[in-house]
Amino acid sequence: MKNIVILISGTGSNMAAIARTAQKEAWQEKRDVRIAAVISNKADAQGLILAKSLGIDTDVLSHGAFESREAFDAALMVRIDLHAPQLVVLAGFMRILTPNFVQHYAGRLINIHPSLLPAFTGLHTHQRAIDAGCQVAGATVHQVTTALDYGAILAQAVVPVLQGDSAETLAARVLTQEHLIFPQAVRRFFEHRV
């Protein structure tokens, strides 16, 4: 069985999009791929409730309980590795990861970012795209490297920036595309590792 571990910090909508696609397309039966666990750094993350409702094991490891980023990442790696994942998916996991963590999962760690990378790395991407006068925005699924929001691009979706858009309205349109391209990128990851 090829295991996926998904890391979240919030609502888990991208996690749910991946999980529902996996169920709809019978990944476990047809591809020998399953979501083994969803892990959050926040005990109150709504995505944990959603994951449980989808029949996925959940775990919480609060970053606040650790004295350093390195200590948290080391403990997180232990929790993740219990599931022997072939792929670790960052789906709204709001932590900058240490180089040791990234290197440990090199080639099997992916993220989604709400911009057309390499444009607008970091936070506040939608407002920055509007302020820059962009006519399009979007989302990118990419391999994670030690550089923030950098790495091989696996999938992208383009969304028009409309007259009168706010960061919130643009974000909502981008999110609908994230829910489409993220499951596709995960599926393709395993198709190339047959």
> Over 90: is that where the pLDDT of 193 sits?
no
Q: What is the pLDDT of residue 141?
A: 98
Q: What is the rounded CA–CA span in Å between residue 194 and residue 91?
A: 24
Is position 113 annotated as part of the catalytic site? yes
**Arithmetic mean of pLDDT, 114-138:** 97
**pLDDT exceeding 70 applies to what percent of the chain?**
99
pLDDT tens digit string along 40-93? 999 999 999 999 999 999 999 999 999 999 999 999 999 999 999 999 999 999
Q: What is the rounded CA–CA span in Å between residue 55 and residue 19?
A: 10
Question: Measured between alpha carbons, how far is residue 174 from residues 22, 137, 154 in Å?
Answer: 21, 8, 17
pLDDT tens digit string along 12-54? 999 999 999 999 999 999 999 999 999 999 999 999 999 999 9
Q: What is the rounded CA–CA span in Å between residue 34 and residue 39?
A: 15
pLDDT averaged over every residue in the chain: 97
Instruction: Please provide residue 27's backbone torsions phi and psi, each rounded to the nearest 5 degrees.
Output: -60, -40
C-alpha R_g of the chain: 16
Q: What is the rounded CA–CA span in Å between residue 107 and residue 127?
A: 31
The active-site residue, picked from 63, 83, 104, 113, is 113
- Percentages of the chain per state (helix, strand, coil), in multiples of 5: 40, 25, 35
pLDDT tens digit string along 137-180? 999 999 999 998 999 999 999 999 999 999 999 999 999 999 99
All domains of the chain, ordered by start, with CATH? 2-112+145-154+178-191 (3.40.50.170)
Instruction: Please provide residue 187's backbone torsions phi and psi, each rounded to the nearest 5 degrees.
Output: -60, -45
Q: What is the pLDDT of residue 192?
A: 76
